[in-house]
Amino acid sequence: SDVPDIELNNGTKIPQLGFGVFQIDPADTADAVTNALEVGYRHIDTAQMYGNEAEVGEAIAKSGIPRDELWITTKCNNSNHGYDDAQSALDESLQKMGLDHVDLYLIHWPLPGKDLYVETWKGFEQAQRDGRTRAIGVSNFQPHHLDRLLAETETVPAVNQIELHPHMQQAGLRSYHERHGIHTEAWSPIGQGKGLLDAPELAEIAQAHGKSAAQVVLRWHLQLGNIVFPKSSTAERMRENFDIFDFELTVAEMGRIEGMEKAERLGPDPDKFD
């Protein structure tokens, strides 16, 4: 496939473009993932919180695609922080998906009010040593949360999965990640579709390349080095979002999109979310 692999800090290789299943109804998830695999996606991003891991596993089993050609990420739910609970939550996810390991396991939110993310991370290190996950990472961590993992544990997260799109570009976190060998995963990469994709800047750039606004934004992510997994329920858009390897944005176009920054979140502030 055209999708490049990105080598993470523990040597594992993740496809830079995947498919996300947040807010896909469990009843529709097996079909959506089956469609995505047919389009060519080999990286699926799910979470215990999404309630659709079993259906993701169903589609994987039905596909017949060899396990080592797939990259499966799931996330530890907020109710399962702690050294032991984080590990039993992973066992439960594996059982639901019918897998003996995932490729990437993430702490979904830091929950600073609970202050258990360091203990949770130590449970993740154990799960990785046991082979229940090939890589471990975090999501929605701010620099001061990452600072504590770096100071108090042995393992630098392979990724931090954060809200990132042209209206919320996260320059500070991206440079922190670069300094520490952490790869950036961008959630809601196309800003959930609404609003962002109507921006006139994107329409102009899209027209210049004969592409859509969504394809331009996804291409911007790839050129920044971000890992992305846009969500879609229709096969047509899944194909559109996958068809981003035959054009390149110019430096000027990249700069124009950089100018769209509004520091505007769609989701919660990680420091205020418990």
Which residues form the catalytic set?
50
Number of other residues whose CB lies within 10 A of the CB of residue 69: 10
Neighbour count for residue 167 (Cβ, 10 Å): 18
Task: Give backbone dihedrals phi and psi of 110, rounded to 5 degrees, phi first.
Answer: -70, -30
Nearer to ligand NAD, 151 or 167 (CB): 167
Q: Nearest distance from residue 47's CB to ligand NAD, in Å?
A: 7
Q: Per CB under 6 A, which of residues 46..75 are in contact with ligand NAD?
A: none
Contacts (CB under 6 A) with ligand NAD, residues 91-110: 108
Kindly give, in sequence order, each residue whose CB lies less than 8 Å from that of residue 175, ignoring residues fewer than 6 positions away. Answer: none
The residue from 17, 214, 216, 249 that contacts ligand NAD (CB under 6 A) is: 214
Question: Judged by CB under 6 A, does residue 20 bind ligand NAD?
Answer: yes
Integer Cα distance of 116 and 101 in angstroms: 24
Measured from the CB atom, is 99 or 190 closer to ligand NAD? 190
Q: Which residue of 160, 232, 244, 257 would you call a contact of ligand NAD, by CB under 6 A?
A: 232
Instruction: For the chain, report the end-to-end CA distance as a whole number of angstroms.
Output: 40
Neighbours of 251 (CB within 10 A): 8
Comparing CB distances to ligand NAD, the nearer of 51 and 267 is: 267
Give the type of residue at 179: R
The burial of 61, by beta-carbon neighbours within 10 Å (0-12 exposed, 13-18 middle, 19 or more buried), is given as middle
Closest C-alpha to 189, from 4, 49, 16, 69: 16
* The token pair that represents 128 in the structure block: 């990785």
CB-based closest residue to ligand NAD: 20
Q: Is 21 in the site for ligand NAD (CB under 6 A)?
A: yes
165 is in an annotated binding site: no
Q: Assess 241 for contact with ligand NAD (CB under 6 A).
A: yes
Site string for ligand NAD, 183-212 (x = CB under 6 A): ----xxxxxxx---x--------------x
Binding residues for substrate: 108
Q: Which residues bind ligand NAD (CB under 6 A)?
A: 20-22, 45, 108, 139-140, 161, 187-193, 197, 212, 214, 229-232, 237, 240-241, 267
